[in-house]
Structure 1
Amino acid sequence: MNDQHTRTAAVAADLRVVLGQLLRRLRAQAEGSDLTKSQSAVLVRLEQGGPATATALANAEGMRPQSMAKIVRALEDAGLVTGSPDPADGRKTLLGLSEAAREEFRTGRRAKEDWLTRTIEAKLADAEIEQLAASIELLERIAQST
């Protein structure tokens, strides 16, 4: 192995560790939810992709429709998901986020962004904030690679 490859491997390992720590800290800022990971994943999928049938959600999450039905039922009971007839096929139900779920997303994101803003301002000098801003483009390129 050459020196550059060794350095790149070390940077990759350090980046993975630091990003994991940062994600855990961000998650901690909006904790208080009793949702399972599967329930949270469904809510995120509905927020990002819009209304979907339970079958489409099950396929997207790689699970059986029966398992998805339990998740959807729990989310409906919690008032986070609502159903309406599918305009393309009235026999199906389109699931979407309730206003309560949308508000939880807004509140959770605000808490994370507020914590991150306060932390950046407290821990970094102006020049370091500029370095961080410049690194975001690089991280986006890495994240979007296949």
Structure 2
Amino acid sequence: MKKSPLSQQTRTDAGLASVLSVTVGRLARRLRAQRLDASLSLGQNAALFTLARHGEMTPGELAEHEKVQPPSMTRIVAALEERGLVRRTKHPEDQRRQLVDLTEEGREMVRADRRRRQAWMAQRLKELTPQEKDTLRRAAEIMDRLTQA
């Protein structure tokens, strides 16, 4: 049986890294295309999903989590607040600081966006064999570990 060009490319760590970078990037673009509101920037979208997953936090904590500079996060939060997707409140222990959290509209946007992306992905997964799905389950765990490193 002849090996596919892809399996030949992934024999080395460098080749695997290259193929994964391209493939994961392509999948990320396809998932981004499923966004409900394309007028939100990627940074704004990421901030919404982070708040949905981790709950309220200071703008500085949000910036650290998203690996952006605090002034950039300040602009992101201001834009999201202007659209009614987040709200700022005073920190209960330090009135000079603020907390950022999703509004109900922001929560619903995240839920709807997540449902749409999951539906798209579920449709793609229906095209796979049970063995391919098992392989993806194992790969998802490994890729999640890579993102935590």
TM-score by length of 1: 0.76
5+ long unaligned stretches in structure 2 = 1-9
**Which amino acid counterpart does residue 102 of structure 1 have in structure 2?**
R
**Which amino acid counterpart does residue 52 of structure 1 have in structure 2?**
M
**Which amino acid counterpart does residue 120 of structure 1 have in structure 2?**
L
5+ long unaligned stretches in structure 1 = none
**1:79 matched to 2:84:** yes
SS across alignment from 1:107:
helix
**Greater gyration radius:** 1
**Cα gap change, 1:130 to 1:6, in 2 (>3 Å):** closer
**1:88 matched to 2:93:** yes
- Find 1:140's aligned residue among 138, 141, 144: 144
State the alpha-carbon separation in 1 of the partners of residues 115 and 47 from structure 2.
21
State the alpha-carbon separation in 1 of the partners of residues 64 and 140 from structure 2.
32
The structure whose residues are more often helix, as a share, is 1
State the alpha-carbon separation in 2 of the partners of residues 9 and 70 from structure 1.
37
> Post-superposition shift, 1:31?
4.2
> Could you list the per-position Cα deviations for residues 38-82 of structure 1 after superposition, in whole angstroms to 9, with x for gaps in the alignment?
323332343344223345445663133xx5444333211201011
> Could you list the per-position Cα deviations for residues 74-105 of structure 1 after superposition, in whole angstroms to 9, with x for gaps in the alignment?
21120101122321123433221111111111
TM-score by length of 2: 0.75
| Alignment RMSD (CA, Å) | 2.5
**Cα gap change, 1:86 to 1:22, in 2 (>3 Å):** same
Match of 1:98 in 2: 103
Match of 1:129 in 2: 133
Aligned residue pairs total 138
